Structure 1
Amino acid sequence: MAQINCESCTNYEYDEEYDCYVCTKDLDEDEMIRFIQGTFRNCPYYQLGDEYRIVRKQI
């Protein structure tokens, strides 16, 4: 199983209040533990952060 890189996910955003990056999805307790430990594989909420997707639709 390949591990998903959260840094390329659109749900991984910087939170100024916490002064760190967080997952914006509402993770349950087990998912949050795996996220914090860095062992969260095959995330069902993963979305590739492709900033060029909108441009491709316009062409």
Structure 2
Amino acid sequence: MAQASNCESCMYYEYNEEYECYECGINLDEDEMMQFLSNSCQRCAHFKFGDEYSIVRKQI
């Protein structure tokens, strides 16, 4: 089930140091990638809320 999403609060939204930009860490298909690149994705099936604290807790 797709849910309302904001890429900046998704745990899969990662910074790519090589390209110096943020990108989705999920292996998106062609249609999903077009939505991501055009910023028209209102509902993402892969969205998972994450913040720095929840990610760090998993690493401990």
TM-score range, shorter chain: 0.7 to 0.9
Stretches of structure 1 lacking an aligned partner (at least 5 in a row): 55-59
Q: What is the SS of the residue equivalent to 2:11?
A: coil
Residue correspondences, number: 53
Stretches of structure 2 lacking an aligned partner (at least 5 in a row): none
Partner amino acid, structure 2, of 1:42: R
Larger radius of gyration: 1
| Structure in which a larger fraction of residues adopt strand | 2
Partner amino acid, structure 2, of 1:36: L
| Contact 1:11 1:47 survives alignment (8 Å) | yes
CA RMSD of aligned residues (A): 1.9
Distance 1:36 1:8, change over 3 A: same
Q: CA deviation at 1:42?
A: 1.5
Structure 1 runs of 4+ aligned residues shifted over 4 Å read none
| Identity level (%) | 45
Distance 1:3 1:47, change over 3 A: closer
Aligned partner of 2:6 in structure 1 is: 5
| Contact 1:3 1:40 survives alignment (8 Å) | no
Paired residues for 1:1-59 under 5 Å: 4-50=5-51, 51-52=53-54, 54=57
The alignment's TM-score, normalised by the length of structure 1, stands at: 0.76
